[in-house]
């Protein structure tokens, strides 16, 4: 019998697939035809099925005879993306996967949500899994889609499907082949002047997140969410640590909020008018997130799942080493 992993070419999914293989699991994935990121799975002993994740029949074929599902796939680009696309992939995709899992009488699903779906804490008051959500005023389509996906997951719990929810922060580590906020941060750390935003975030090591999925599948409580991550850090600290790893000392100045919003607003407007986003220019939604402190407590995962976290410096070193080895920085 196999286990099924969605989003297997993303940083969380790719590390999870390897962790499952090391444990001796038979792993099945669903890949899009001709996706260049499929190479991240080359030479791995996985069962490959091909099709569109929006196709219920493709999901049914992929989940046939599976005993468990890890749903890690999400849409979270750096640049502008239409709100409907977030909803279709993050919320709609979760509904489709859980619907087929219920049909196939699969025992348990671990769903990868986001720390942003929990809400914002502060340096002196870390947010926990049960805080009252406090980011609705942003109207962020990514955050709203992940919140909706969690609500969908709880609907399926009521229908009898066991679902455990994980909430990582900024995921960094090896196999970060797709463009993300984390990899953008690393790649930009070699330029002469660093404009840093004023916020901060919980950093999650990709290999820690993969391990958390395995443990959550075994003993996570059904219907519960678990924040997974090592350390909360201001973006300025992250950049300073990256500078040291790269042996580089640029000039660092705060990123003016007005200028950042103006640049992103212009890029978003271009994308809406011409139907094509400008690569690597963050959307207004992404910029807003970088000016808040997503400071979260992973105490629940530490106590209930027995998680141990990789130190921040080690996570950054692994990320830089992997990107350099693969000539991505």
Q: What is the DSSP string of 77-97?
A: -SS---HHHHIIIIIIHHHHH
Task: Output the pTM of the full model.
Answer: 0.94
The reply to whether 89 falls in a domain is yes
213: pLDDT strictly greater than 70 = yes
Residue 273 in any domain: the answer is no
In a domain, 251, yes or no: no
Mean pLDDT over each residue of the chain, to the nearest integer: 91
CATH number assigned to the domain comprising residue 30: 3.40.50.720
Range of the domain at 28: 2-241+286-325
What's residue 236's pLDDT? Answer: 85
The values of phi and psi at residue 10, to 5°, are -85, 170
pLDDT tens digits along 195-212: 678 899 999 999 999 999
The tally of domains found in the chain comes to 1
Tell me if residue 247 falls in helix, strand or coil.
coil
The pLDDT tens digits of the residues spanning 12-62 come to 999 999 999 999 999 999 999 988 899 999 989 999 999 999 999 999 999
pLDDT of residue 34: 87
End-to-end CA distance of the chain: 40
Q: Is the pLDDT confidence value at 191 over 60?
A: no
**What's the confidence (pLDDT) of residue 321?**
87
Q: Is pLDDT of 193 > 70?
A: no
Question: Assign residue 280 a region: left if phi > 0, alpha if psi is -120 to 50, beta otherwise?
Answer: left
- Does residue 201 belong to any structural domain of this protein? yes
With a cut of 50, say whether residue 217 has pLDDT above it: yes
Q: What percent of the chain has pLDDT over 70?
A: 93
Query: pLDDT at residue 233 above 90?
Result: yes
Give Dmax (Cα) for the chain. Answer: 57
Q: What is the pLDDT of residue 189?
A: 60
**Residue 192: its pLDDT value, please?**
47
pLDDT(194) > 80: no
pLDDT of res. 327: 74
Question: Is the pLDDT higher at 243 or at 85?
Answer: 85
Express each pLDDT in 236-286 by its tens digit: 888 888 888 877 666 567 778 888 889 899 999 999 999 999 887 889 999
Q: How far apart are alpha carbons 176 and 281 in whole angstroms?
A: 19
């Amino acid at each position: 019998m196999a286990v099924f992993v969605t989003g297997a070419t993303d940083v969380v999914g790719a590390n999870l697939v390897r962790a499952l293989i090391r444990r001796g699991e038979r792993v099945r994935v669903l890949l899009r035809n001709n996706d260049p990121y499929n190479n991240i799975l080359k030479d791995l002993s996985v069962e490959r099925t091909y099709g569109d994740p929006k196709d219920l029949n493709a999901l049914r074929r992929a989940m046939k005879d599976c005993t468990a599902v890890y749903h890690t796939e999400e849409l979270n680009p750096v640049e502008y993306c239409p709100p409907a696309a977030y909803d279709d992939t993050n919320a709609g995709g979760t509904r489709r996967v859980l619907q087929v899992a219920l049909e196939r009488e699969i025992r348990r699903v671990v769903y990868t949500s986001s720390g942003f779906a929990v809400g914002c804490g502060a340096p002196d008051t870390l947010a926990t899994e049960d805080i009252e959500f406090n980011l609705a005023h942003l109207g962020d389509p990514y955050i709203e889609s992940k919140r909706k996906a969690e609500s969908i997951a709880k609907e399926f719990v009521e229908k009898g499907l066991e679902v455990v929810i994980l909430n990582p922060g900024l995921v960094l580590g090896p196999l970060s082949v797709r463009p993300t906020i984390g990899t953008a941060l690393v790649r930009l750390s070699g330029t002469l002047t660093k404009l840093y935003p004023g916020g901060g975030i919980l950093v999650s090591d990709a290999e820690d997140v993969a391990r958390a999925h395995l443990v959550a599948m075994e003993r996570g409580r059904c219907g519960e969410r678990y924040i997974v991550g090592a350390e909360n850090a201001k973006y300025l600290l992250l950049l300073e640590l990256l500078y040291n790893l790269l042996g580089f000392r640029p000039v660092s100045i705060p990123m003016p909020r007005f200028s950042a919003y103006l640049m992103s607003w212009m890029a978003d407007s271009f994308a809406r008018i011409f139907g094509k986003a400008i690569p690597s220019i963050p959307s207004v939604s992404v910029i807003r997130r970088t000016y808040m402190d997503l400071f979260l407590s992973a105490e629940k995962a530490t106590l209930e799942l027995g998680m141990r976290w990789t130190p921040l410096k080690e996570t950054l070193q692994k990320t830089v080493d992997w990107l350099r080895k693969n000539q991505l920085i």
